[in-house]
Amino acid sequence: MAFSSPLPRPLVLGSTSRYRRELLERLRVPFTVAAPDVDETPQPGEAPRDLALRLALAKARAVAAQHPEAVVIGSDQVADLDGEPLGKPGTHERAVAQLQRMRGRTVVFQTALAVVCQATGFEAVDLAAVEVKFRALDDGAIERYLRAETPYDCAGSAKSEGLGIALLDAIVSDDPTALVGLPLIRTCRLLREAGLTLP
């Protein structure tokens, strides 16, 4: 069910990620950014898919509570290695360890999306699962890549939109921006359902 109002509702991206901000700018709709105050600690035994969905919705709800008239986007991405969540490495050493574990293997990047509008009661979630096949990387290649791009703020320690593409054998996805952090095809659909008009 679509909700609409006589005036366009403000759009808020509930994320401090510059990658998500740059992706949302592609839609050429005005928006503001707000930082969600959400504990991102996985729950015991929580599957990567469930973690991503829970955090995306929690982020959208947290920001919607501060901007009740706005349509709010929340998103989260978790790298899924055989059911184990891999988050942002944060340090060089953890990034090395992640890439060593992922070399020659397929990792599923679970990118969850939530759109919430408190004023209308609209709430919807979706998930894009992206299969990424990593090359059989040697330690030298891992070290050279990390020194060149320092992707310590990226789940899975690689930026596919940058030099990280050279680490990969294949990407399988039905939403090409999902791997970067915001599945725009799904975002457009949910924003329309929330009552926003897109170009």
Please write the tens of the pLDDT for every residue from 98-125. 999 999 999 999 999 999 999 999 999 9
Residue 155 near residue 88 (C-beta atoms within 8 A): yes
Question: What pLDDT is stored for residue 3 in this prediction?
Answer: 47
Whether the pLDDT of residue 21 is over 70: the answer is yes
Residue 36 near residue 14 (C-beta atoms within 8 A): yes
* Strand ranges for 118-153 from DSSP E: 122-134
Q: What is the mean pLDDT of residues 10-31?
A: 95
Q: Which CATH architecture fits 11-193?
A: Alpha-Beta Complex (3.90)
* % of the chain surpassing 90 pLDDT: 88
Active site residue 76: yes
Give the Å distances, CA to CA, from 59 to 12, 99, 109: 11, 28, 19
Question: What pLDDT is stored for residue 69 in this prediction?
Answer: 97
* Domain residue spans of the chain: 11-193
Whether the pLDDT of residue 24 is over 70: the answer is yes
Whether the pLDDT of residue 199 is over 90: the answer is no
Residue 171 near residue 107 (C-beta atoms within 8 A): no
Question: What pLDDT is stored for residue 87 in this prediction?
Answer: 83
Of residues 120 and 87, more confidently modeled: 120
Q: What is the DSSP letter of 136?
A: -
Map tokens 């919807």 to a residue: 124
**Marked catalytic residue, from 39, 50, 76, 126:** 76
Give the Å distances, CA to CA, from 46 to 72, 79, 83, 128: 25, 13, 9, 18
